[in-house]
A and B are shown apart, each in its own frame.
Chain A
């Protein structure tokens, strides 16, 4: 009877430590401050908004998509993504890019765009009559 619990506990400890190990290995933190993003070599999920005033660039030859993102404090960075413009990108109010900042660019391996209708209202509220 006792052995059963010791064995079970042993298995659980192994399982949990394996999980914690892999969790720390695959952990990606959200970061909404781009000055922090630029200072780390780790993969992060940078959240901010797409700078519509600046150009975006779709390079067919190298198959890259480049655009600028800005955080709440006004820090800007250039994002390069190996691929094409994601669905919904043009209307995106908020963008989450996963990747790392190397050599002056944020190299994104994933782009998530959020374009909820609620944001539309907020955007309009700032405008004049």
Chain B
């Protein structure tokens, strides 16, 4: 409750700040202080509310719906802190928290620059106001009580002390399919509990917990980094709008530039960590699947990076006086970066991608959909309306025409190519809104030529000068670089066995980037290291692209059945499955595989377990990280190798009343047969047996049989059925409360390949990913480049304008 109050007052403060900043902008003298106090008050309240949310998570206050839905008692402190952003409400809170804190730095920065503060802060405060409405009690409030809307709670979450309460009986529900019991929590039950002096927190003793796919180290790091990037992209947007308000387009470029660099560096890092998370956790072997959610955080990054290129030109050409070249482009790109961040949250949180993505949150309610649309629409109209309004004053006043071979034009072309890439991803990602979707080769095919152009362009742009370069000069200058590039590419093509011409071209252009940038960087290292930024970033991109070529085009995969203690070979690695070990208090199993190549020996441990959260088998791959390649082992399944199992390898699960077809016969699992006294025998742990009645039909003939699960002296045995007439053998493999598993085979074939020995088999998919480490190293180097550039541009932006 206190949390909600904090958030509502914070909203009031943000509106207050908005009004006060507006009055200051209109020239009122004494309102600026009130605006600042309101803004800081708002931030304090948001920090207080966030602390409250963390506190309720750490202290397991399950009377809050959010705490119940996204955490439980078994999470350790790190994951409890991370469950803050496990759901929609909390991820809006995180976004709000980071945005509001960044606003404090922005406020302090702008307050030292004459009348800049009100113009920038009006826009910035408006974005926090929208986010505050989002987490307010009317939308996605993380402090909503669990009884506010009726909700079904699993019986295991309920304190057993209270299960016998008479009034509780009318809130019990049973799911017919699974037989699981639930309690419906609603306002009425809350009232009855309160009447009996039981608090909801006593009544509910455990939460639902985090989705097992989020239980990964990176859950604690990736979302905050990504949202810091999102939050920082608000700043260039606010500067761009303030420039439009003031009708002065000179200074904002310099002021917004370091914010854009830092924001895009951090966002880029966040996007990559998301990819690494997927690679390490999801087991589909890749780091990028062109998933709509991945895409939607990549699009604003690409546009932001395009803006960095053209803003550089505007800064450079400003030295001639005037506002500089590409003033309109820069305003549009900075506004677009933030709009695309909003679009990204619209795509992932409104439910429009319900069927298209693994990540997307489902069913947010219509009202959130419209509010997100309003949020985005408001800033879109504000941004582009302002540009349209000021269009005439934005006429390029730089009277210098650059030649075709100028660095200005090269940088502009780079931005155009980046925008093209963003358009491609935007079109593909938005397609599901219209019931369409694209195969991932749409993105791949479109991006290979773009990457080639970007590579050649970047290499060339560093060889040509600002303003103009003569064709012959360029040729003379680039010859040695081209020579080195051709030699290296030739070696890669020969040793790597590259046979597709388009990939050869891509390798060539990437190596060109690497060679040119390395040469420039090498020269600079001796001089002013602050100038290194761009070159380091481009070296990073080149390494990244080489990593992408290696790990995607030259990845190979094979399925291997690892029989225990038998060695199999794949890609030159000798693999031996040696058995499994229970880990994490016997909740998970790690499967130990010895790997040998040459003289080196390694041990890898893919993990499988059945998650309580969703009763599903979860599989976590193991990655053997070697210098030139990764060996990626994804577990598919495990067979304990029971004696009675025939070797046909086909196991079928049947629920009561369902049937399956095999070789012309229909086998129906009619019912369980529990003899009298079975239940008591089970509970007392003495010998008992359970039967499953099967009906077999073939060519009009019907036969009924019973397969038994016997427990004799603690050992479990299963019986089987065979019929020469039907040429059929059915082995019972498993029998549980809800279904049976049987293995069906033809008698004629079973005899031939039946071994009596039990075999434990681990089924895995093994793949090799050549040079995948270049993907991570490349992005890390690139982000480092962003920060070197930041170190150079930050002091420039600190100098006060005259």
Contacts and interface: CB of A to CB of B under 8 A. Distances in A.
Contacts, number: 145
B25 to A, nearest CB: 38
Contacts of A117: 69, 208
B679 interface: no
B614 A115 contact: yes
A77 B437 CA distance: 22
B188 interface: no
A26 B441 contact: yes
A32 to B, nearest CB: 9
Nearest to A57: B652
Chain A interface size, as a band, is 35 or more
A25 B177 CA distance: 42
Contacts of A47: 355
A55 interface: yes
B99 interface: no
Interface residues of B, number: 64
A54 B658 contact: yes
Nearest to A68: B658
Contacts of B354: 114
Nearest to A121: B152
A94 B438 CA distance: 21
A119 B178 CA distance: 14
A127 interface: yes
Interface in A27-60: 27-30, 43, 45, 47, 52-60
A73 interface: no
Q: Looking at chain A's contact residues, is the secondary structure mostly helix, strand, loop, or mixed?
A: mixed
A19 B362 contact: no
B649 interface: yes
Interface of B is mostly: mixed
A52 B282 CA distance: 24
A6 interface: no
Contact of B437 (A22, A30, A61, A88): A30
Contacts of B652: 55-57
A128 interface: yes
B639 A60 contact: yes
B641 to A, nearest CB: 12
Interface in B343-384: 354-356, 358, 361-363
Nearest to A126: B176
A5 interface: no
B175 A127 contact: yes
Given A26-B441, A124-B175, A60 B637 contact: yes
6 smallest beta-carbon distances between A and B, as pairs: A26-B442, A84-B636, A26-B439, A116-B362, A60-B649, A91-B614
Interface of B: 69, 151-152, 170, 172-177, 182, 208, 213, 282-283, 354-356, 358, 361-363, 420, 423-424, 427-428, 431-432, 435-442, 445-446, 559, 561, 614-619, 636-637, 639, 648-655, 657-660, 761, 763
8 contacts: A19-B423, A19-B424, A57-B651, A59-B649, A87-B617, A90-B615, A127-B174, A129-B174
Given A26-B441, A53-B658, A59-B649, 13 more contacts: A26-B442, A27-B437, A45-B437, A54-B659, A55-B655, A57-B650, A59-B650, A60-B639, A60-B649, A61-B650, A87-B282, A88-B618, A91-B615
